[in-house]
Every structure is written in structure tokens, then in C-alpha cells.
Structure 1
Amino acid sequence: MNTTTPNRISSIDVLRGLVMVIMALDHARDYFHITAMTADPMDPATTTVAAYFTRWITHFCAPTFVLLSGISAFLAARRKTKSAASIFLIKRGLWLVIAELTIVNFALTYNPFYNFIFLQVIWAIGWSMVILGLLSLWSRKVVLIVGLLLFFGHNVVDYMNFPKEGAASVIWQVLLTSRPMVLPLDATHVVGVFYAVLPWTGIMLVGYSMGEWFTSDFPAALRKKRLLLAGWGLVVLFIVLRFINLYGNPMPWVHQPDFLRNVLAFFNTSKYPPSLQYAGMTLGPAILALAVFEQVKNKWTDVLSVYGRVPFFYYLLHFYLLHALLVVVFFLTGHHTTEIMDLRIPFQFRPMTFGYSLPVVYLIWIAVVAVLYRPCRWYNQYRATHQQWWLKYL
């Protein structure tokens, strides 16, 4: 039985690497696509199929990564005492929150004055780890119960009335309902809340509760059976809830005048905040992929696993590299320093009318991912042969 452990863990790394690679496509689109700042690629009434797919496929990234973070947290906790595992999760979560506010935000904006501060996926993962660290002190059953309640039940808030203004309104939106929102800090600084924390926490807690399936003493056949059951169950749940059109998404599915637009509208579920329908649409196939990748090993899975073993390192590097490339292209295409900051856009060196067609965006994406392969492989090897304390946090 122990001989299957590397394949099991590798399946996690491969899937995580795959979604990290796909994630870079969305950020390449933000920086380099001509309509990224002027049009909604998910609007079925105005989008093209190519623009829609380029955005839609990246919807799988954040929920899959958060789920796998929960699984990995469980596996790491088995090597520690309950209290030590809890403390580590809390410390790592707080570190991620600080990293989001500082090094991640600078990579996103290249704005040393932090006029626009993003609260996105690393923010949500950080606070989710803190919550997981606290809940895990009680028991795994508590983690599972809270996780299931948040995962399946958080869309109940779509039918509740919350305060419209004041501190209570901000707290509720930050925790549960942000779609997103922008909060002014002063005359020149704002915070963009894009990831409501608790719906993502539910995904992480469910992942933590699945972690036992990936331990060395868990039967492989039973694990595969459970993955297939959970994956197909979520896919079916998404389809059923979408057709019923009453629960599981803040906004109902609005039928369009033609078949193609109707299909696009059907799959346009809410990521901000992540609805139950969105989770079923994305995590169902992701969990099925875990079952498949356990049986697949080739040069492509080896490459993907390199990215998947060093996710935060890759995450930081890909933002800094994409934005550095944006600066180079900005000046090479004749733009001037007076155009570095566009008050309508939070990204420096990215004017409103700047950009290229989707084929160019795809070429940039592929190039950036390829360039990052060797640094990620080097860091993975370095981390495997060194014991510095900070390696646990990067």
C-alpha cells in the first residue's frame, strides 16, 4: 500500500500545477488584452466565444487551489501535534494576509504608494487558514460540519437583508457577500474587496476533511470511489440547481434569445462571491481530475507537478514577470511617463486603450509559464535540500 503514496501525492501536485498554469492566462489577459479593462468577457450578450472561454476556464483555478490547500493542510498536520499544527496554520495564514497586502499587491499594481489595495485569493486563503487552525483544535468533525454548512449553506444569505451602510455592512460584505466592492480609506487610497472570506473558507474546510483519503493507509480503490462519487455528485448538483434556478447563485440564470448565448449564460455562475453553483461547476471536474491524475504519469504531468510543488513561489514570480514585461512593452510601443498611471485602472503602465488580440495574449501566457519552469524547478530542489524556517512560508 505504501508504494502508492508518491502517485497519490503527485496527483495533488499535478492538478495544482495545472490550475496554476491556467491562472497565469487570466492575469496575462488582464495586462495585455485590448478589451480587458473595457468589456466583460462573461457577459453573454456582448462577449465572443474566445473571450468567454479565456475567462471561464480560469474560474477553475481559485476553488481548486483552495480545496487542495485544505487537503495539503491535513497531510502536513499528520506530522505534527494538534496544537503545533494549529499554530502553524494560524501563523502561515497571517503571513499570507500580510503578503497579500504588501508583496502581492505591489506585484499586481507596481504602485509604491498602494493607492489601490486588492484583497483577493491569498487574502481569503490566509484568513481561511487561520479559521481552520482554530477549528482544528476541537476536532476533525467540527471542521467537517462547519465546512459543509458554509459550502452548501452560505447562499442562504442571498435571501437575507443585511445593513446597507456602516461598519456592520462592511463586515458582512467582507465575510460573506462582496460582489466585489471598493472601500475608500482616504482621499487617495481605496481597498478593493474581491474575495468574501467565508465561502472560500468552506471550500478549504471541505478539502481538509477530504485529506484522510490521501493518506498512505487509505485504500486506493475506496479513495477513487469517493473521488468519483464526490466529483460527479457536484457536477449533477450544479446542473440540477442551475435548471431549478432558485438557490445556489446570487443571480438567477437569465435565458438568452439564442442557443449559444443561452449556453454561455448557463455557465456564467458567480465567482464573487463563489456560489454553490460555481463550486459545483468547478470543483466537480477538479475532484474527478484527482482520480484521473493518480493513474497518469508522463512528461507533461512531471512538468505540471514542478509548478504544483511551489505554488506561492510561482504565484509571486508570475505576477512580477508579467508586470515587468508590461513595463517593457509599454515603453517599446511609444507610451510616455505621463501615461503610467490611469486613474480608471489600478494597474500602473496599463492605459485603458492599451492591449492586443487574444492570440498575442496566449503567446505571452505560454512564454511566461515556460520561463518560470526552471526557477520553479530550482526552488523545489533547494527547498528539498535545505531546512531554513522561512522555506515553510514561501
Structure 2
Amino acid sequence: MIDFNTRSPLTPTLKVTLGAVMLLAILDHTRIFFHYWNTSPTDMETTTLPLFFTRTVSHFFAPSVFFLSGVQCHFYGKNVHKRKMSVTLAKKGVALILLEFAINNFLYTFDLYYRTMGIFILAILGISLLLLALLIYLPPRILFPLSLMGILGHHFLDGINYGGQSSLQILGALLHHQKFIETKRCLFIINYTILPWAPLLWAGYALGWWFEQDFPAVIRKRQLKALGLFLILVFVLLRSTGWYGETSDWNMGTNTFSVSLISFFDLNKYPASLCLITFTMGGLFLLIAFLEVRTSNITDLLMEYGNHSLFIYLFSTFTLHLAAMLTLPLEGFSIWAMVITPASYLTDSPLENHGFPLIAVYGIWLFFVAVFLKAIGYYSQLMKNKAKLISLN
């Protein structure tokens, strides 16, 4: 998700992995814009197993992006002096924050007045880079334990109240608490927080050596499998006992297996719980191990998505939102109802009756996966032509 040009290529396996989780993000965005509006996948009264797990698999996206972005920073740092790297990380961080507020917020709403804004994945990714720009001077033997402290220990902040709107409370929420701030001009949402997302990126940076090409692939694959299974075991133990790592209990006494299963995997993402991190990171390491030195037509497709992840993240959000807007007249609604404002989520919203069955959402997703692959080809060629022009000048 961070563009360092050609100085920080991820390994082919990591590019394929990033491409795979990109498809999961696109699936979730397709659900948001095309499934029945205001239908919560985690509402125990109305959700179904397919709908719930359509949302749940998308949880793999954010942890993978933060960790792999940290690995990408490590690769970049191998080629440059730390001072230059620190400046570059700071610039990239500021660029991502501006991109979030100016572009990404708009792509989700199409609201020229920006009546709904927020700190989402790109902004926190940018803030994480700004902090890493300072922390790269620490040796990995210090940075990695510091990262683990942030990932493992952030639940000690769960009991702090960030209910007010003072500057200190807003900064506290930015550190570790989802918050909705209503102003006269807009609704401002803090969804992604510094903890535990920034430490996850720092951990990727500290462990970047593990993914270098000269590290024996056979040993790495074996270690990835062991670590992945260990993290999933930790998740099962934490979640089943309720001892630590999740803000809500799961319902073991229900009459139906499906409700118990949904309850068990209903993990808090804002902020991300330790259960969510162990579950998704365990799955990520197993996926990397599975994809190690594996090639096929599918991995080639996934690598295209991984090569242009930031572009496709923004372009897919725009395209899916626009496509959903254009379907509204077919349902008898004005296209302007898809300009998302805080009122769009009220029960009397024009979008209340908008949406399609989940099977149709999957069909739409597969269609756009093919469309976006074509778009990636055009974008890649455009970037190559631009590079040629720059080299000629």
C-alpha cells in the first residue's frame, strides 16, 4: 500500500498475499454498496452465517496491510541511509493522511460537502509511518518488543472513558478508542486507532529480515506454519476462556450452533482486539507459507493486485460506489440517494429499501474483479509510459 517506486519490491510471495487480501477488501466494499442497506452482518437478530463470514473474512485485510507495509519499509531501508529513510517515511505518512481526508473520505460518500469524514485505514497507516520515521533509529531487538507491548497490552486502556470532545479526549480516542464526533458541519469518525495498528506495522518492519530472498525458503515456510498455528491456538484459548483479548463475551448457551459460531467469531475491530489480531495474523502467516514459491494463473492474477494495491483500493471504492449509484434508478430511487451523509443511516433514509441478495453481491464482486484486472493493466502501462518520459527528460 506504500509506493516506494522500485526500491522496495516485496517478494513475489508477499505480493501475491497482498493481492489475495485486496480481493477480500473489494468483497467487503461490494457488500457495503450492493447488499441490503443498513443490514449489519453482526446483528444476531438478523444476520446469517454467509453474511457474517462475508464480513469476517475481510478482517484479514487491515492486519495484513499494516504488517506487510512494515516489511516493505524494511526492504526500502536496506537501500538508503536512515536519515533519508526517515524523511521518506514522514513524507509518505503525510501523503497518506492527506489522501485519506481529501480523496478516500470522498470516495466512500460522494459528498462534496464532506458531511461525513473520518480516520480510516489510510490515515492510520500514514500516522504509523510518521511514528516509524522516528523509531527506525531503534535497533530491532528494542523495536520488536516495543511493538509486542502495543499489540498485547493495549487492552489495559479499555476501561478509560473518552466520551467528551476535549482535545485530550479526542487524542485519547485516536490512541485507542472508536469515537463519533458530531459537529455543526459534519460527523467525524475515528475508526482506526494508533493502537494496535501502528505497532503491527512496526513489527513487520522489525521482522522484515525474515522475508528477505536470501533467507532459506524451506526454513521460513516451516516457521511460518508453526507461528500461524500457534497464533490461532492462542486465539482459540483467549476467546474460549474470555480471559483477555476481547471486549465482548461469546454466547455459549444459545440453542443454535450457528448463533454460537457467529458469537465466537464476532471480534472487535474498532479498535482491533488481540483476539482479532491473533486470528488474522495466524491466518496470514499460514497463507504466506502456503503461497511460498507457488505459481499458477491465479497467483499471477493476485500478484497484479498486489503490485498496485493502493491504486486498486481507491479505484475499486470509486467504481463500486458509482456502479451502486447507477443501479438506484432500476430500483426506483434517485441516484443522489447514494451521496452518503449521516442521514443515510437513519431508518427513513431513501436507501432503506436498496440492496440485493448476498448471492448477487458475490456475482457483482466476481464481475468487478475481472474489470479491475483490466484497469490494472491500463494503469501499469500508463505508469511505464510516464517513467519513460521522465527518463527521457
Query: What is the TM-score when the length of structure 2 is the normalising length?
Result: 0.89
Looking at structure 2, the residues matched to 350 and 200 of structure 1 have their Cα atoms a distance apart, in angstroms, of 35
| 84-93 or 380-389, larger mean C-alpha shift | 380-389
2:3 maps to: none
Q: What's the CA shift for 1:358?
A: 0.8
Which ranges of structure 2 fall in alignment gaps of 5 or more residues?
A: 1-8
Q: What's the CA shift for 1:381?
A: 4.8
1:282 maps to: 280
Q: Indicate conservation of the 8 Å contact 2:13/2:288, yes or no.
A: yes
- For each residue in 1:270-329, what CA deviation from the matched residue of structure 2 results, as whole angstroms up to 9, or x when unmatched? 111111100111110111111110132100000000001111000111011111112211
1:379 maps to: 379
Q: What's the CA shift for 1:25?
A: 1.0
- For each residue in 1:133-167, what CA deviation from the matched residue of structure 2 results, as whole angstroms up to 9, or x when unmatched? 21002333332122111111111212x43454233
Looking at structure 2, the residues matched to 108 and 54 of structure 1 have their Cα atoms a distance apart, in angstroms, of 19
Looking at structure 2, the residues matched to 192 and 275 of structure 1 have their Cα atoms a distance apart, in angstroms, of 19
AA at the equivalent of 1:288: L
Q: Indicate conservation of the 8 Å contact 2:10/2:75, yes or no.
A: no
- 1:338-377, aligned counterparts within 5 Å? 339=337, 343-345=342-344, 351-377=351-377
Looking at structure 1, the residues matched to 147 and 381 of structure 2 have their Cα atoms a distance apart, in angstroms, of 34
- For each residue in 1:80-126, what CA deviation from the matched residue of structure 2 results, as whole angstroms up to 9, or x when unmatched? 11111121111101100100001111111000110100321111111
1:254 maps to: 251
- For each residue in 1:51-83, what CA deviation from the matched residue of structure 2 results, as whole angstroms up to 9, or x when unmatched? 111111111111111111111111111111111
1:120 maps to: 120
Looking at structure 1, the residues matched to 366 and 335 of structure 2 have their Cα atoms a distance apart, in angstroms, of 29
2:222 maps to: 225
Per the alignment, in what secondary structure is the counterpart of residue 11 of structure 2?
helix
Looking at structure 1, the residues matched to 379 and 355 of structure 2 have their Cα atoms a distance apart, in angstroms, of 32
Q: What's the CA shift for 1:361?
A: 1.1
AA at the equivalent of 2:344: I
Looking at structure 2, the residues matched to 235 and 150 of structure 1 have their Cα atoms a distance apart, in angstroms, of 19
Q: Indicate conservation of the 8 Å contact 1:330/1:350, yes or no.
A: no
- The RMSD of aligned alpha carbons is 2.4
Question: Which of residues 193, 196, 218 in structure 1 aligns to 2:193?
Answer: 196
Question: Which of residues 292, 295, 298 in structure 2 aligns to 1:297?
Answer: 295
Distance 1:304 1:163, change over 3 A: closer
Looking at structure 1, the residues matched to 207 and 385 of structure 2 have their Cα atoms a distance apart, in angstroms, of 29
Distance 1:352 1:208, change over 3 A: same
Q: Which consecutive aligned stretches of 4+ in structure 1 deviate over 6 angstroms post-superposition?
A: none
2:109 maps to: 109
| 148-157 or 166-175, larger mean C-alpha shift | 166-175
Looking at structure 2, the residues matched to 283 and 194 of structure 1 have their Cα atoms a distance apart, in angstroms, of 20
Q: Indicate conservation of the 8 Å contact 1:318/1:369, yes or no.
A: no
Looking at structure 2, the residues matched to 152 and 120 of structure 1 have their Cα atoms a distance apart, in angstroms, of 22
2:266 maps to: 268
In the alignment, structure 1 residue 161 sits paired with structure 2 residue 131: no
Q: Indicate conservation of the 8 Å contact 1:29/1:361, yes or no.
A: yes
Looking at structure 2, the residues matched to 33 and 163 of structure 1 have their Cα atoms a distance apart, in angstroms, of 33
2:94 maps to: 94
| 210-219 or 336-345, larger mean C-alpha shift | 336-345
2:172 maps to: 172
1:4 maps to: none
| 306-315 or 8-17, larger mean C-alpha shift | 8-17
Q: What's the CA shift for 1:350?
A: 7.1
Q: Indicate conservation of the 8 Å contact 2:325/2:336, yes or no.
A: no
Per the alignment, in what secondary structure is the counterpart of residue 118 of structure 1?
strand
Looking at structure 2, the residues matched to 56 and 338 of structure 1 have their Cα atoms a distance apart, in angstroms, of 30
- 1:18-33, aligned counterparts within 5 Å? 18-33=20-35
Per the alignment, in what secondary structure is the counterpart of residue 182 of structure 1?
strand
Looking at structure 2, the residues matched to 163 and 32 of structure 1 have their Cα atoms a distance apart, in angstroms, of 34
